[in-house]
Amino acid sequence: MKLGIILGLAALATLGADAPGKFVSMFNGKDLSGWEVDTPGVWSVQDGMIVGSSTGLKFNTFLRYKKPYANFIMKAKFRMVTGEGNSGIQFRSSAPAGSHQVHGFQADIGDKYWGCLYDEARRNKILVQAPPETLAKVIHKTGWNDYVISAIGNHITLELNGFKTVDYVETDPSIATSGVIALQMHVGKPYQVQFTDLKIKALP
C-alpha cells in the first residue's frame, strides 16, 4: 500500500469519518471537538464525560453536533446527577441562526418526560408518552441510563435501558427527515446532567 493511501486512511480515522454500517464515536472524551457550544459556561468535559451544568437558566440552551444526520441509530449513556431537572437529545432538528433554541424531535429526559418523544419548539407537545408504570421499573433516577435512538424514514423508536418506550411513525410530510443532533439544558432550577459513550451509525 502506498504511503499516500496510508496517510489518507489515517486522516479519515482521526476525523472520525463515518464508516458504512459501523458505529462511530461522537465524543473523544477530552474536549468538545465536533460540537458547537451555544451558551458558554454551561457545557464542559470532565472525567471523560460531557457535562451540562445549570445555575438556573432563563432559556433552553443546546450543545449542537456539527454534522447533520438523516437515517441513523444513536447510542448514549446519561445521568441526571440529583435525579432532578430536564434534558434530552435532539435529532433531525434545525438550529436557527441567532437563536438559543433548537427545533425538532427530542428523546426526552427528566421528571414526567423520561423516555418520551417530544417535539421541541415546533409542535411543542409530547408525540409519544412512555408508559409510567414500566418506566418506574427501569429508570435509574440518579444513576446511569442507556438511550438508543433509531430514525429510519418516517419510523422512530426510542429504547431506554433496553425497554422500547417509543414506536412512532411520522405522518406529516412537511416534517424534516434530517437535521442536527443536540444535547439540551432546560430552563429552570439548577441541576447537572452527564453524557458519555455517544455513538452513531449512519444508515442509507
Structural domains of the chain sorted by starting position, each given as residue range(s) with its CATH number in brackets: 19-202 (2.60.120.560)
Give the span between the Cα atoms of 172 and 170, in whole angstroms: 6
Hey, which residues does 91 pair with through a beta bridge?
105
Amino acid 92: pLDDT: 98
- The pTM (predicted TM-score) of the whole model is 0.90
pLDDT band of 21, cuts 50, 70, 90: confident
Q: Are the beta carbons of 130 and 55 closer than 8 angstroms?
A: no
Instruction: List, for residues 60-70, the tens digit of each pLDDT value.
Output: 999 999 999 99
Give the span between the Cα atoms of 114 and 19, in whole angstroms: 31
pLDDT band of 97, cuts 50, 70, 90: confident
Cell of 98: 441567532
